[in-house]
């Protein structure tokens, strides 16, 4: 096991032992964790979105997905790259030994990787396997001390990336071990071994599609000979190859030779992917979303699962609905963005019930986003990846851990006597209702 992974595993074990010794807690009151009763009513033809509108959104999705390949100059400046790390540089965190890092540790990483020389490269590539995009060029975690910090909140984790993702490389470190990549999700640092360089012909062939979208999480992609290539995550795209027979035949990165990507045909199970975009029907929504219930919360996707914004993004991606990676950007991504800030709780509920579109609306509060599922009993329900709820008691501030994807109301934990109020509740902090489709994009009778 890699030394860093060994240290983190030890932290998890110690945390588990601490929880085992803690007093027993009453279970959190949640509604039934069943999606079937919450699936929306379909419009004419069994769909939620008009097919033409969905195709238009899918075309926009692909344009955003490949935008880094279309640029002639970097989207982000050197100052923007450096700003990713400003927060950790200004307030040093804890290393893998849970001891404070010296302040100069962060700047040294930047200097040794030649950050000031950015941009000094320019080539198109693909991620060769699932990997983690980093704020600084290191795989070591960096934790903040105190409630709300610690594992799994690695401050140097930008986001996880799937295998076969288009990236644009704008800088390579002097030692050749790290690079700076612009990706469809974010800017950050990647180990050089995680990316394969493409020829113009390879890039054009990859970009021209058509594509299948992965609809089942952690699906193995295999070579035509049956060898394992990598696990494909929900929502990610691979180009179709001719000759389907018992499996989707897709193009995928098989590795690299001296940094150059080697691409070839691979197999993907027929029940784990679909032509992109997948029609937005209640049955398809249920099939995609149901396996996500109960999955562990995973900050930045570092361990192959999801935080709040990755959940909403990946769930809607197979349907061709683009969402940015972080929650604050998702709050601005709608066809209609309805402010909730400054309203009372009853007013917020009423506005959500009146204008929210089940399964096609997000609810945002600073630092967190949720998918609105509707209100079958008059109370709004959401699907969310929820780490925990803030508590306050004789021992000070803490967290009531949830740590998974759940269906909940807008004030989960309201029955807990030590829940911090109002900051431990979700509804008082809601600021935005994001409706993802306009009326003209809906099938009749959907809204």
pLDDT, tens only, 351-393: 999 999 999 999 999 999 999 999 999 999 999 999 999 999 8
Whether residue 289 sits in one domain with residue 210: no
Residue 6 maps to a domain: no
Instruction: Indicate whether 252 and 117 sit together in one domain.
Output: yes
Same domain, 125 and 230: yes
Q: Which residues contact 374 (CB under 8 A, 6 or more apart)?
A: 38, 40, 356, 358, 359, 380, 381
Task: Report if residue 53 sits inside a domain.
Answer: no
Query: Do both 227 and 194 map to the same domain?
Result: yes
Mean residue pLDDT of the chain comes to: 93
Q: Is residue 201 part of a domain?
A: yes
pLDDT computed for residue 27 by the predictor? 76
At residue 13, the pLDDT reads 47
> Which of 258, 275, 292 is the endpoint of a domain?
275
Is 366 found in the same domain as 247? no
Q: What pLDDT score was predicted for residue 14?
A: 45
pLDDT interval class at 74 (50, 70, 90): very high
> Would 5 be classed as within a structural domain?
no
Banded model confidence at residue 19, pLDDT cuts 50, 70, 90: very low
For residue 318, the domain's CATH number is 3.90.1720.10
237 lies in the same domain as 323: no
User: What is the predicted pLDDT for the residue at 2?
Assistant: 55
Q: Does residue 57 fall inside a structural domain? A: no
Q: Which domain holds residue 424?
A: 23-48+281-441
Of 245, 275, 305, which one is at a domain's C-terminal end?
275
Phi, psi of 13 (to 5 degrees): -65, -45
285 with 165, same domain?
no
At 44 the pLDDT is 74
Residues 286 and 210 in one domain: no
Q: Is the pTM of this model over 0.85?
A: yes
Give the pLDDT confidence score for residue 20 in this predicted structure.
46
Residue 271 and residue 285 in one domain = no
- Cβ neighbour number for residue 426 with a 10 Å cutoff: 22
Contact, 184 vs 165, CB < 8 A? yes
- Residue 147 is assigned to a structural domain of this protein: yes
Spatial separation of the C-alpha atoms in residues 157 and 129, rounded to whole Å: 17
Query: Looking at the 3D structure of the chain, how many domains does it have?
Result: 2
| Predicted pLDDT at 1 | 52
Q: Is residue 424 part of a domain?
A: yes
Tell me whether strands 187-191 and 157-161 are parallel, antiparallel or unpaired. Answer: unpaired
Instruction: Say yes or no: 247 and 384 in one domain.
Output: no
Evaluate whether residue 56 is within a structural domain: no
pLDDT band for position 16 (cuts 50, 70, 90): very low
In tens, the pLDDT along 24-49 reads 566 789 999 999 999 998 877 789 99
**pLDDT, average across residues 161-182:** 98
Nearest in space to 276 (alpha carbons), one of 435, 43, 57: 57
Q: Which of 233, 257, 275 is the last residue of a domain?
A: 275
Does 187 lie in the same domain as 92? yes
173 and 77 inside one domain: yes
């Amino acid at each position: 096991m890699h030394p860093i992974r060994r240290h983190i595993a030890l932290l998890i074990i110690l945390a588990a032992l601490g929880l085992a010794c803690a007093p027993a807690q009453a279970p959190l009151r949640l509604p039934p964790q069943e999606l079937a009763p919450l699936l929306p009513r379909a419009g004419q033809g069994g769909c939620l979105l008009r097919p033409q509108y969905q195709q238009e959104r899918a075309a926009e999705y692909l344009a955003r997905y490949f935008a880094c390949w279309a640029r002639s100059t970097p989207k982000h400046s050197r100052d923007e790259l450096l700003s990713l790390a400003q927060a950790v540089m200004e307030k040093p965190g804890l290393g893998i030994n849970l001891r404070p890092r010296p302040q100069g540790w962060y700047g040294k990483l930047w200097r040794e990787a030649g950050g000031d020389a950015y941009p000094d490269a320019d080539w198109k590539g693909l991620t060769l396997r699932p990997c983690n995009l980093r704020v600084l060029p290191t795989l070591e975690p960096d934790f903040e001390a105190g409630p709300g910090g610690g594992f799994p909140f690695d401050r140097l984790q930008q986001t996880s990336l799937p295998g076969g993702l288009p990236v644009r490389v704008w800088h390579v470190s002097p030692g050749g071990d790290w690079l700076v990549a612009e990706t469809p999700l974010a800017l950050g640092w990647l180990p050089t071994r995680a990316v394969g360089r493409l020829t113009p012909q390879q890039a054009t062939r990859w970009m021209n599609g058509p594509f299948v979208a992965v609809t089942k999480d952690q699906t193995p992609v295999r070579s035509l000979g049956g060898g394992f290539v990598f696990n494909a995550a929900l929502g990610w795209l691979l180009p179709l190859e001719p000759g389907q027979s018992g499996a989707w035949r897709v193009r995928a990165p098989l590795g690299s030779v001296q940094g150059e990507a080697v691409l070839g045909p691979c197999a993907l199970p027929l029940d784990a992917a679909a032509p992109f975009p997948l029609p937005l029907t209640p049955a398809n929504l249920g099939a995609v979303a149901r396996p996500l219930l109960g999955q562990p919360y995973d900050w930045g996707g570092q361990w192959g699962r999801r935080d709040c914004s990755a959940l909403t993004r990946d769930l809607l991606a197979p349907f061709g609905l683009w969402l940015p990676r972080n929650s604050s950007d998702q709050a601005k991504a709608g066809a209609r963005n309805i402010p909730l800030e400054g309203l009372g709780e009853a007013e917020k509920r009423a506005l959500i019930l009146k204008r929210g579109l089940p399964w096609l609306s997000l609810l945002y509060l600073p630092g967190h986003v949720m998918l609105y599922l509707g209100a079958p009993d008059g109370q709004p329900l959401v699907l969310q990846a929820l780490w925990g709820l803030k508590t306050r008691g004789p021992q000070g501030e803490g967290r009531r851990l949830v740590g998974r994807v759940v269906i909940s109301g807008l004030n989960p934990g309201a029955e807990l006597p030590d829940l911090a109020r109002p900051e431990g509740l979700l509804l008082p902090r809601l600021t935005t209702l994001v409706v993802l489709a306009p009326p003209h994009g809906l099938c009749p009778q959907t809204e």
